[in-house]
A = this chain, B = another copy of it.
């Protein structure tokens, strides 16, 4: 059969990874896909720059439009990133009847609703397995393998940079800043790490997960997002003393009142499977009503894992070329006319456990006052710890882990505790999650 012609928008780390993978495993890939894959053109910012891959047989230029317009190209790989040029080119490729594959979570989270609508009008497919959890096939698992399930919740470590930083803080006892610099040295964090450490990257991915899990439109702007920048080593150590590890989690959960979509650092019991996902690794846990809990683990980033997901999308797209549009897997798991919105809960309505740590003057009555506040608000207590903080001599750290409680009440408790004279600084608040595995 005639080879499939592919055009590349962008030939940076991921683009070069795709080209290298298609070269090195060509035989293995063609034996599976049944058809050869030719990358005929690539558009790059600077065509004279040296590349991390062989480029023979490929026309390299700086004009992206040429690729979108080339009638010989069947599939366009958008590997530019961001949501500006990438969006325009993706839409242009779709309008010209080309299938698109992207690793760009930012693009899909913000513009996916428009992109998928355009793709359906033009009878093409936009694939994005690499956009969530890199090499882990979580999109396919949720869209196809769990198609018979009502998905109740998804909880995932979906930002490798954040997980690496928190793992280093725990193993090495270092500060957030030190661990971040270490991640940057090892290539696990960008020079500008804002998206990773502020939770924005994870929120992009969680928006996609939530939509596929529950059949709602992509709702990035409704994801509650907290980063890991303000986590102190002391809290990681206290959590460990209480039998927990702190992991950067994205959580999508169905409740009778609507869905929770939230990204924040989270205490998970050290015996939980997610607790043993260390370093830059990712893992996503999905609870379906028929199958129960399932977990998908692997590398969430890097040239090889990302290329693995992009080329898997490419072999799927080859199959799509000979498929009637009615027989395709819907972009967001549910048939387009079956997507329906649901209320996304405000943080005040989240229900989970809460870790509260307050620095107090070491005087009598503190514990009585604090536990009184919690009792008045009917917030149950799971554990209490009092510790000498690492820095001052006169103060104490009081740590309370609550039972599951509505966050609105916990915020009220925090306000009341912070108002006490004995409270030295604003209270540290980290959520706690218990997931059946």
Residues of A within 8 A of B (CB): 1, 21-22, 24-25, 28-29, 31-34, 129, 135-137, 140-141, 143-150, 215, 273, 276, 283, 288-299, 304-305, 307-309, 311-312, 314-316, 318-324, 326-330, 333-335, 338, 437
B311 near A25: Cβ-Cβ < 8 Å: no
- The reply to whether B32 and A334 contact each other, CB–CB distance below 8 Å, is yes
A334 → chain B closest CB, angstroms: 5
Question: What is the bound-complex CA distance between A193 and B91, given in angstroms?
Answer: 58
Docked pose: A194 CA to B357 CA in angstroms: 54
A-B CB contact pairs (8 Å), 26 listed: A1-B326, A21-B148, A25-B290, A28-B149, A31-B334, A31-B338, A32-B333, A33-B147, A129-B145, A136-B294, A137-B144, A137-B294, A140-B145, A144-B312, A145-B309, A147-B312, A149-B308, A273-B297, A283-B295, A289-B304, A290-B305, A290-B311, A293-B299, A294-B299, A296-B297, A319-B329
Cβ-defined partner of A291 (8 Å) among B135, B295, B315, B320: B135
The one of B137, B316, B328, B329 that contacts A141, using a Cβ cutoff of 8 Å: B137
Q: Name the CB-closest residue of B to A276.
A: B276
Copies in the complex: 2
Cβ-defined contact, B292 with A135, below 8 A: yes
15 other A-B residue contacts (CB within 8 Å) besides A31-B334, A137-B294, A144-B315? A22-B148, A25-B148, A25-B150, A29-B147, A31-B215, A32-B338, A145-B312, A147-B312, A148-B312, A273-B276, A291-B309, A296-B296, A297-B437, A319-B327, A323-B327
A13 to chain B, nearest CB (A): 14
Q: Which residue on B lies nearest to A275, using beta carbons?
A: B276
A314 to chain B, nearest CB (A): 8
- Whether A335 lies near B137 (C-beta < 8 A) is no
CB distance from A190 to the nearest CB of B (A): 21
> Which of B283, B290, B333 is within 8 Å of A308, CB to CB?
B290
Q: Which residues of B contact A312 (CB under 8 A)?
A: 144-148
